[in-house]
Structure 1
Amino acid sequence: MTTSRLATLGRDEPSLLPLAQRLLSLAESGLPAMLLPGQEAFAFTMAGTKAPDGSWSLERRGTSTRYAAITALGVRHLSEDRQRVVLAGRTAQEFTGSLVESLPSVTNLGDAALIAWAAAETGHPKLSDALAGVEALDDHDRPQYTVEAAWVLSALAAARDSADVERPLAAARDRLLRARIGNGPLFPHATGPGLVPWYRAHVSCFADQTYPLQALARAHAGGDGDPEALAASEACAARLCELQGEGGQWWWHYDARTGGVVEGYPVYSVHQHAMAPTALFDLADAGGSDFGASIRKGLRWMTDVPELAGHPAAHEPLIVDGLNVTWRKVYRGDPKKAVRAARGLSTRAVPGLRLKPLDRVYRPLSVDHECRPYELGWMLYAWQGGRI
């Protein structure tokens, strides 16, 4: 199905359109195998194992409520018949209904927020129950993880046309805006002190940026507009794009105080093909800047991975059509994430300190052979949105 986002990609960089279409086909084909048989849940991950003859097999491991909700958000953009193929005979709304029914046993704010977001976007008649589940878990007097706080705001923004959510929406919006350190454009890992150890309280990840910038853009797009929220979203997006790697990499860890990169690796496939696109698309749709060039640059990384050039791993694609997966990330393979820890500690004392010898000792030459349902769910959400 043609969407405005795919059409724009085909217009601006025609050579990338087949790649996007290939990824979307892979997502639709791969998600049914991630659905746990006879359950209203998706696996936490699909782990790949390579046999001596070079063949690969996948094993479902764990279960995840939040990944199920994200999948519902993405699948709901498909036609009804295609939704039923992915979700074992159910529509995205019907599948979301089972998630709403599970809310009494949900104890995580992020999981509840994603379920409410899916209920709002699928038009589920029990949206009020889903919103009540979020309210029961959300304590605005205590700090929350930034990602989960952002999902709360996105859920409330999505529910605006169906429920009276202006009071909690304003509180969720203010919480995100207050979380920033000084006048910096980036967001910390938590909305207040207490959840993160002091020595790494300045370190935030890519998700801590994309979900707030998306949520604030969506908050502006509804109601009477919110220029302050849009400006914060715009500033965050502009800084992320300024820091983007020459090969299109969206880096992993940032210094929320200075707006710099703490440690670039791992580079995650989901950031390249889904999370950055959906956040930046939503910003543009809300009236913000068009960061399409950065989206395209990031997408190109999926088949042109500079980290692996000249290395035996260069012959291993990150997109595996036969398995219907995208391998999860390219990473350093350093023991106990030593580089990340060293740079987190060093930048706490000296902002911007890089410890460059670590790049030579621990090169990013490893590929993580996993794929998680939310990666494919967000991919559908990013590129199947904005229908013509």
Structure 2
Amino acid sequence: MKTSSDAGVKLMAPAGLTEPTRNSHLVNYALRGLRHCWLPQHGRWSHIYHLDGRAAPNQSLPQSDVFYTLNVLLGMSRTAEIPDSIGLSEIFQRNVRQLVSLPVPKYAYGMALWAAAELELGIPEEVAREVKALLDNRSGWENFRAQDLGMLLTGIVAMARADRKEWYRFAGPLFAFLRQRYHSPSGLFFDAPSGMRRRFASFATQVYLSIACYQYGDVAGDPLAIAMASACVRKLMALQGPRGEWPWFFDAVSGRVLDFYEVYSVHQYGMAPALLEWAERYDVHGAREALIKGFNWVLGRNQLERSMLVPELGLSIRSQIRRSELTTKLPRMLRAAAKAYLGRDSDLIDSSAVGLRLECRSYELGWILWSFGQRSDLPELADHQAFVPPVSPA
């Protein structure tokens, strides 16, 4: 076991070592990829691993690195076998303490609670004070975006499950705020409690708030919370693309797709499966089929008819996107606004105008670990030949 006095945490194992045997090929694929995203000098996983052939592919953005690292650790909490070279507690403590000194988004605190609960690790006192101050300030909730609220509520419920009951006092009020200010009659969720931006909601908006509702409803025994989450899932499945694409942008008022692009790999293999696992548990018809169809998009059943995997690295290509929008979001924003106010639906464009965003982010691999680390009922996905490591020549 190699350690770094600089980082204060164990290093990732080098490629080529014997892989854990109790994991699926998919889980080990993600663990291989995380080796490439590791920043030993910082003791965390990177913001971006660029797939364009540059000499130094890892790009660090400290506040993003730290959040992504907590997301990866959350995934590892559900992984059957973690390589001995990964010091979960050391990595967690090193990174969680940085939340109070970096300009992290509010949802990073929710991820910290969630990961701490699942890993059975303590939250440093200075971090706990910061989160409780955030939650005690009810007027500040008006500034929560959907991801902030969803992750904070999920993290609080996870702490309650882990018998840290002092956090549970926030759960009921947060869910009431969610129900009153974020739930749309369309079945989808709003992105914010008020404002012009509110109705323009992403796929991530739907996933984080639906998971929060399922988590809260499960612990509190609240059928309304479960019903809200399941209604959102049914709406999302109705809007899923013909090849399993999960659309990126919605009008939460009308329940329409405003833009399919970008179609993100992490939604297909990680975040949608995390949500649909809950939907399966609560007997949402078609959830399993939607999960499989979405996952197969990554394996090549997509608009470009190509795999989104990078097998030699254990990574994935981030997304399929309109070629003209690789470096700007402005056209997408204007197009979405026009379609929302004109009541028009969006559809897939001609494949000749679709390109690839050549990068991978470490949190994406963390979602694989979370969504498939404890599943043994989908071997056609988790042990697909695409994830089997190549045999080295003798």
Normalised-by-shorter TM-score class: 0.7 to 0.9
Aligned to 2:244, what secondary structure does the other structure show?
A: coil
Count how many residue pairs are aligned between Structure 1 and Structure 2.
344
Match of 1:150 in 2: 150
Residue identity matched to 2:179: L
| 1:39 correspondence with 2:42 | yes
| 1:134 correspondence with 2:131 | yes
What is the alpha-carbon distance in structure 1 between the residues aligned to residue 267 and residue 90 of structure 2? 28
Gaps of 5+ in 2: 1-22, 378-394
What is the alpha-carbon distance in structure 2 between the residues aligned to residue 172 and residue 284 of structure 1? 25
What is the alpha-carbon distance in structure 2 between the residues aligned to residue 111 and residue 140 of structure 1? 18
| 1:124 correspondence with 2:126 | no
Task: Give the deviation of 1:385 after TM superposition.
Answer: 3.0
Superposed CA offset, 1:176-220 (max 9, x none): 222335422111222333xxxx2x442111000011111110111
CA contact (8 A) 1:218 1:286 kept: no
Match of 1:344 in 2: 336
What is the alpha-carbon distance in structure 1 between the residues aligned to residue 94 and residue 376 of structure 2? 27
Q: Evaluate the alpha carbon distance shift between residue 136 and residue 83 of structure 1 in structure 2; reply closer, same or farther with a 3 A threshold.
A: farther
CA contact (8 A) 2:47 2:361 kept: yes
Task: Give the deviation of 1:97 after TM superposition.
Answer: 2.2
What is the alpha-carbon distance in structure 2 between the residues aligned to residue 304 and residue 155 of structure 1? 34
CA contact (8 A) 1:144 1:192 kept: no
Match of 1:334 in 2: 324
Aligned to 2:57, what secondary structure does the other structure show?
A: strand
Match of 2:6 in 1: none
Superposed CA offset, 1:161-181 (max 9, x none): 322223201122122222335
Match of residue 219, structure 2, among 218, 222, 245: 222
Query: What pairs up with 1:1-388 in 2 under 5 angstroms?
Result: 21-50=24-53, 59-63=57-61, 64-79=65-80, 82-85=82-85, 87=86, 90-91=87-88, 93-107=89-103, 108-126=105-123, 130-138=127-135, 139-141=137-139, 142-161=142-161, 162-164=163-165, 165-180=167-182, 182-193=184-195, 198=196, 200-223=197-220, 225-285=221-281, 291-309=287-305, 314=306, 317-335=307-325, 336-337=328-329, 339-354=331-346, 359-360=349-350, 363-385=352-374
Task: Give the deviation of 1:72 after TM superposition.
Answer: 0.4
Aligned to 2:51, what secondary structure does the other structure show?
A: strand
Q: Evaluate the alpha carbon distance shift between residue 204 and residue 62 of structure 1 in structure 2; reply closer, same or farther with a 3 A threshold.
A: same
TM-score, with length taken from structure 2:
0.80
Aligned to 2:303, what secondary structure does the other structure show?
A: helix
What is the alpha-carbon distance in structure 2 between the residues aligned to residue 326 and residue 176 of structure 1? 33
Gaps of 5+ in 1: 1-19, 51-55
What is the alpha-carbon distance in structure 2 between the residues aligned to residue 265 and residue 21 of structure 1? 30
CA contact (8 A) 1:103 1:133 kept: no
Residue identity matched to 2:158: A
Residue identity matched to 2:342: V
Match of 1:10 in 2: none
What is the alpha-carbon distance in structure 1 between the residues aligned to residue 91 and residue 75 of structure 2? 12
What is the alpha-carbon distance in structure 1 between the residues aligned to residue 308 and residue 150 of structure 2? 29
Task: Give the deviation of 1:370 after TM superposition.
Answer: 0.3
Task: Give the deviation of 1:262 after TM superposition.
Answer: 0.3
CA contact (8 A) 2:36 2:313 kept: no
Task: Give the deviation of 1:351 after TM superposition.
Answer: 1.9
- Runs of 4+ aligned structure 1 residues displaced above 6 Å come to none
Q: Evaluate the alpha carbon distance shift between residue 371 and residue 132 of structure 1 in structure 2; reply closer, same or farther with a 3 A threshold.
A: same
Between the aligned residues of both structures, percent identity stands at: 25
Superposed CA offset, 1:269-301 (max 9, x none): 000000000111133336655610100000111
Task: State the superposition RMSD in angstroms.
Answer: 2.5
TM-score, with length taken from structure 1:
0.81
What is the alpha-carbon distance in structure 2 between the residues aligned to residue 324 and residue 264 of structure 1? 26
